[in-house]
Amino acid sequence: MAKRITIQATRFDPEKDTKPRLQSYDIPFSDDSMVVLDALNYIKAHVDGTLSYRWSCRMGICGSCGMMVNGTPKLTCNAFLRDYWPQPVVVQPLNNFPIVRDLVIDMEDFLDKLKSVKPWIVRKQEIPLGAGEHLQTTSQIDDFKQFSQCINCMLCYAACPVYGLNNEFLGPAAIALARRYNLDSRDQGLKDRLPVIAEAEGVWECSFVGECSVVCPKGVDPAKAIQQTKLDTTMRFVLPYGNRE
């Protein structure tokens, strides 16, 4: 007796629709390892070719396939159908973003925010290539390692009610990335990043809901990054000649 499962996916074509609606698909659930992404691929290949969504690596590293699955932001390549079956699975585009088409959201705001925190090594004086690498210990890497794991999937932005209510908020991933560079022993760009991080729409907009860290598929813990940044920027203000950290 072949198993089947119902997928309800958001449909929205701006050329035809004024607002999004859910469309139901009933498909075979043929293998226990099937994920929501497999279901979407099946629908597109065999049932309805008009369903649009982003995906690529299918192994949780490219960050393309983030969507709301039953109200929670998830990477659909890592959301197993067996965890939802026999209930229907509702797949919607990520919350808090404008919807371009079906399950595809507009991520330009996110990219602007990413760029605004100057996510590159800033040095007062570059050392020449011939001098070899900056020496860095494993312990120094551990300082920022967690915050370097972000795959830019934007699940954290979808989970953050602050971003949902105020699109100006810099947001979890951007702040975590800023902290990644601020903590990198090779970087000297803290001052360059401070104006963006420490402004009203920066870390201070965050009220520590913490849902971003709950949904992060890579364990980046952006909530921690933000709170630690708040503490650090405050200490910098209070003790301007104290330890840079």
Partner 1 sequence: MSLPAGEAHPALSNTYRWSMPANWWTRKRHYFFYMLREFTALPLALWLLWFLVEIKRAGDGPASYAPHSSALFVVFSAVCLAFALYHSITFLSLAGVIIHVKFLNRPVPSRLIVLSQFGLWAAASIVIGFVLIWFGR
Partner 2 sequence: MEFESYDVLVVGGGLAGIRAAIAAVEANPRVKVGMVSKVYPMRSHTVSAEGGAAAVLRPEDSYETHAFDTIKGSDYLADQDVVEAFVREAPIEIIQMEHWGCPWSRDPDGKISARPFGGMTTWRTCFAADKSGFHMLHTVFQTSLKYPQITRHDEAFVTKLLVEDSRCIGVVALDMRSGRFDAITAKAVILATGGLGRVYAFTTNGNICTGDGMALAYRAGAGLKDMEMVQFHPTGLPFTGILITEAVRGEGGYLTNSEGDRFLKRYVPNKMELGPRDIISRAMTTEFEEGRGFEGPHGKYMHLDVRHLGESVIDRKLPFMRELGREFLGIDIVTEPIPVRPVQHYMMGGVDADISGATAILGLYAAGECANVGLNGGNRLGSNSLSECLVFGAASGRAAAHYASAARAPGSKPVDAMLWDEARRVEGAYLEKKGGEERIGDIREDLQREMDAGAGVFRTEEGLQALIKRLADLRERFQSVKIEDSSRTFNTELTAALELDYMLEISDTIAYSALAREESRGAHARRDFPDRHDEKYLKHTVAFRTGELAPRLDYRDVRITNFTPQARTY
Chain residues 192-221 in contact with partner 2, contact rule CB under 8 A: none
Is-contact 245 232, C-beta < 8 A?
Answer: yes
71 near partner 2 (CB under 8 A): no
Please tell me whether residue 78 binds partner 2 under the rule CB under 8 A: yes
Which of partner 1, partner 2, none lies near 136, with the C-beta cut-off 5 to 8 A by kind?
partner 2
Nearest to 37 by CA among 3, 73, 4, 81: 81
Minimum CB separation from partner 1 for residue 14, in Å?
Answer: 4
| Residues in contact with partner 2, shown as a per-residue x/- string from 9 to 28 under the rule CB under 8 A | ----xxxx------------
For residues 58 and 224, which CB has a smaller minimum distance to partner 1 in the complex? 224
Q: Is 20 in the site for partner 1 (CB under 8 A)?
A: yes
Supply the DSSP string of the chain, one letter for each residue: ---EEEEEEEE--TTT-SS-EEEEEEEE---TT-BHHHHHHHIIIII-TT-------SSSSS-TTEEEETTEEEEGGG-BGGGTTTS-EEEEPPTTS-EEETTEE--HHHHHHHHHT--S---SSPPPGGG-PPP--HHHHHHHHGGGG-----HHHHH-HHHHH-TTS--HHHHHHHHHHHH-TT---HHHHHHHHSSTTTGGG-----HHHHH-TT---HHHHHHHHHHHHHHHHHSTTS---
Q: How far is the CB of 142 from partner 1 (least distance, A)?
A: 8
* Residue 133 interacting entry, from partner 1, partner 2, none, C-beta within 5 to 8 Å by type: partner 2
Q: Is 244 one of the binding residues for partner 1 (CB under 8 A)? A: no
- For partner 1 (CB under 8 A), the number of binding residues is 33
The verdict on 145 binding partner 2 (CB under 8 A) reads yes
Token output for 244? 């840079």
* Nearer Cβ to partner 1 (38/187): 187
CB nearer partner 1, residue 98 or residue 195 = 98
Residues forming contacts to partner 1 in the complex (CB under 8 A) are 12, 14-15, 19-20, 71-72, 93, 95-100, 106, 139, 142, 161, 164-165, 207-211, 214, 221, 223-224, 227-228, 230-231
